[in-house]
């Protein structure tokens, strides 16, 4: 499941829509059979304070290692330097084995970790606050490549 942002004009969307001429609304992306007005979680909600404005880049990958090793590769500086060499990463919050939040330049990262069996983890990265759609496309490719490199690193270490 991912997250998508869009702008809603005044008077439409959530009850708070009338307080600002435009505001960002976040929707959970769910399988087609969940798209109904009565499905739990299908409703829209206003982005919490602190979320960056702009475009969003998203990437996801299943990695053949347990969550603890994958999470450590994000939070340990030495391990992270092996697959993410750009110095823009600044960890701001973490819940071990579940999620982490970080600043990346002028944007924000939200990384979620989900188990996929005994020795597999599904990782999603959402990078908020990108200035243009083109930059979001570039960063989507960047995060896909970084997740591939992360997978190679932790899967090799596991052998």
The pLDDT tens digits of the residues spanning 100-126 come to 999 998 899 999 999 998 899 999 999
Mean per-residue pLDDT over the chain, rounded:
75
Q: Is the pLDDT of residue 41 over 90?
A: no
Query: Does 147 or 34 have the greater pLDDT score?
Result: 147
Instruction: Report the pLDDT averaged over residues 134-147.
Output: 96
**Confidence bin at 53 (pLDDT 50/70/90):** confident
Two structure tokens written together for 96: 């071990």
CA angle in degrees (0–180, nearest 5) for 20-21-26: 70
How sure is the predictor about 8, in pLDDT bands with cuts at 50, 70 and 90? very low
What is the per-residue pLDDT for 69?
A: 94
The per-residue DSSP string of the chain comes to --EEEEEEETTSSSGGGGGSSEEEEEEE---GGG-STTSTT-S-EEPPTTPPPSEEEEEEEEESS-HHHHHHHHH-HHHHHHH---TTEEEEEEETTTEEEEEETTEEEEEEEEE-STT-EEEEEEEEEESSHHHHHHHHHHHHHHHHHHHHHHHHHH-
pLDDT, tens digit (0-9, with 9 covering 90-100), for 16-37: 444 443 333 333 333 333 333 3
Mean pLDDT of 7-15: 38
Specify the CATH class of 51-159 in words: alpha beta
pLDDT given at position 32: 37
Question: Residue ranges of the domains in the chain?
Answer: 1-49, 51-159
pLDDT band for 52, please (50, 70, 90 cuts). low
Q: What is the pLDDT of residue 159?
A: 64
Res 81 pLDDT > 70: yes
């Amino acid at each position: 499941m991912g997250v998508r942002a869009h702008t809603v004009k005044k008077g439409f969307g959530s009850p708070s829509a009338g307080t600002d001429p435009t505001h960002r609304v976040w929707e959970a992306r769910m399988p087609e059979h969940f798209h109904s007005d009565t499905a739990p979680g299908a409703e829209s909600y206003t982005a919490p304070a602190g979320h960056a404005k702009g475009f969003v880049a998203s990437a996801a990958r299943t990695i053949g290692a347990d969550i603890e090793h994958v999470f450590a590769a994000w939070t340990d500086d030495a391990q992270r330097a092996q697959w993410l060499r750009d110095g823009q990463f600044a960890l701001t919050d973490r819940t071990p084995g579940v999620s982490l939040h970080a600043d990346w330049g002028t944007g924000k990262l939200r990384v979620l970790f989900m188990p996929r069996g005994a020795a597999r983890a599904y990782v999603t990265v959402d990078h908020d606050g990108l200035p243009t759609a083109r930059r979001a496309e570039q960063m989507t490719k960047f995060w896909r490549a970084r997740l591939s490199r992360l997978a190679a690193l932790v899967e090799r270490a596991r052998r």
